[in-house]
C-alpha cells in the first residue's frame, strides 16, 4: 500500500495541475483602444506556446484595426517564418494575417531556450498579446483558427504537448466597445449615473452632442463651460417646445421642467462643477447637428 501511495504521489507531482486558459478582449478604460490578453487559471502550471485566433469586428462604419504593441514573448509566425541556411538570415514572419476593417487573424508563437541569447525565459502565465484601435463602437468576437492551431486547440497550442487537454480548457471571450460620449454607466459632472432608459432616449433624439458636455447638467448647451444668454435662450425654447430645445434637458428626463430651470439658475449664479473644461464641438459618437 505504501508503494502504491508513493507511486501516486510521484505521478501527481509529475503532472501539472490543469484548470484552463482564457483569451479575451477588453476596452481600455473609456478609450477606442482594445486589448487582447491571455490568463492561465490560478494553480495551472501549464503555459501557452502559440495562439491562432480570428478576431472579428462588426463594422457600422470604417474601423482602423491595425494591431500594435505585439507581445515580445510570442514573436514567431509559423505560417510565414523563414530561415535562409546560406546567409543565416531569419524572418520571424508576420503575426497578423488578412487584416481589414472586418478584423484580422493572429498567429503568434513563442520560441525560447535557456541557451538562446535573446529569448532565455518562458512566457509569463498571463499577459497582453496586442492592442488595436477602432474608430467606432463595435462588437469584437474571438474564434479559433483551426487551420493554423489544430481542430482541438480552440485557438491555443499549449507548451506541454505530452498532455491531453480537455474540451473547454481554452475559453475565448469577446467584448463590446462603446465609444459614445453619452453611455450607460457614465457618471456625469454632478454625480448622476446614466441609465439605459436615458441612453435610449439620447439615441432616439439623434445622439445630440450637448448631453456629453461637462457642464450640461448645469445648463451649458454649447460646450463652453459657462451658462450664458445663449443657453438661457435654449432653455426658453426647450420650455416652450421640447422638440426644438432638448439641449436644455439637464437631467435627461425627456422634458424641460422646473428642475431643469433650477439647474440653469444654479449654473448661471454659481458656474459649472469643478474640473469642467471646454469640450470639442463634436465629442466621440455624437451628432453636432442633432439639435439644429
Q: Where are the domains of the chain?
A: 2-177, 183-292
Contact 219, 264 (CB under 8 A): yes
pTM to 2 decimal places: 0.69
- Edge to edge, the sheet with strand 126-133 lists 126-133, 33-40, 21-27, 170-173
Cα–Cα dist 222/214, whole Å: 10
CATH number of the domain located at residue range(s) 2-177 in this protein? 2.60.40
> Residue 11: helix, strand or coil by DSSP?
helix
Predicted pLDDT of residue 61 = 64
Predicted pLDDT of residue 131 = 97
Predicted pLDDT of residue 4 = 40
> Residue 129: helix, strand or coil by DSSP?
strand
pLDDT along the chain (292 residues), means of 10: 40 58 92 94 94 90 81 93 88 91 94 86 95 88 94 92 92 91 87 91 92 93 90 87 86 92 92 84 83 56
> Residue 268: helix, strand or coil by DSSP?
helix
Amino acid at each position: 500500500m505504501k508503494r502504491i501511495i508513493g507511486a501516486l504521489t510521484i505521478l501527481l507531482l509529475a503532472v501539472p495541475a490543469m484548470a484552463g486558459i482564457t483569451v479575451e478582449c477588453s476596452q481600455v478604460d473609456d478609450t477606442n483602444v482594445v486589448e487582447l490578453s491571455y490568463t492561465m487559471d490560478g494553480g495551472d502550471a501549464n503555459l501557452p506556446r502559440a495562439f491562432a485566433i480570428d478576431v472579428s469586428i462588426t463594422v457600422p462604419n470604417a474601423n482602423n484595426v491595425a494591431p500594435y504593441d505585439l507581445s515580445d514573448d510570442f514573436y514567431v509566425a509559423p505560417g510565414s517564418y523563414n530561415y535562409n541556411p546560406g546567409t543565416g538570415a531569419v524572418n520571424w514572419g508576420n503575426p497578423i494575417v488578412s487584416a481589414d476593417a472586418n478584423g484580422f487573424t493572429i498567429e503568434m508563437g513563442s520560441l525560447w531556450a535557456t541557451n538562446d541569447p535573446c529569448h532565455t525565459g518562458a512566457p509569463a502565465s498571463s499577459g497582453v498579446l496586442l492592442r488595436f484601435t477602432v474608430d467606432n463602437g463595435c462588437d469584437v468576437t474571438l474564434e479559433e483558427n483551426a487551420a493554423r492551431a489544430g481542430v482541438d486547440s480552440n485557438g491555443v497550442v499549449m507548451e506541454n504537448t505530452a498532455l491531453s487537454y480537455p474540451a473547454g480548457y481554452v475559453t475565448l471571450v469577446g467584448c463590446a466597445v462603446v465609444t459614445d460620449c453619452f453611455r450607460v454607466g457614465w457618471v456625469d459632472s454632478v454625480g448622476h449615473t446614466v441609465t439605459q432608459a436615458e441612453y435610449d432616449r439620447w439615441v432616439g433624439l439623434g445622439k445630440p452632442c450637448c448631453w456629453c458636455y461637462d457642464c450640461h447638467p448645469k445648463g451649458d448647451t454649447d460646450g463652453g463651460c459657462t451658462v450664458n444668454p445663449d443657453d438661457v435662450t435654449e432653455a426658453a425654447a426647450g420650455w416652450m417646445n421640447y422638440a426644438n430645445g432638448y439641449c436644455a434637458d439637464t437631467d435627461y428626463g425627456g422634458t424641460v421642467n422646473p428642475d431643469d430651470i433650477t439647474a440653469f439658475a444654479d449654473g448661471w449664479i454659481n458656474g459649472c462643477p469643478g474640473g469642467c473644461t471646454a469640450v470639442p464641438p463634436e465629442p466621440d459618437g455624437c451628432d453636432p447637428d442633432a439639435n439644429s
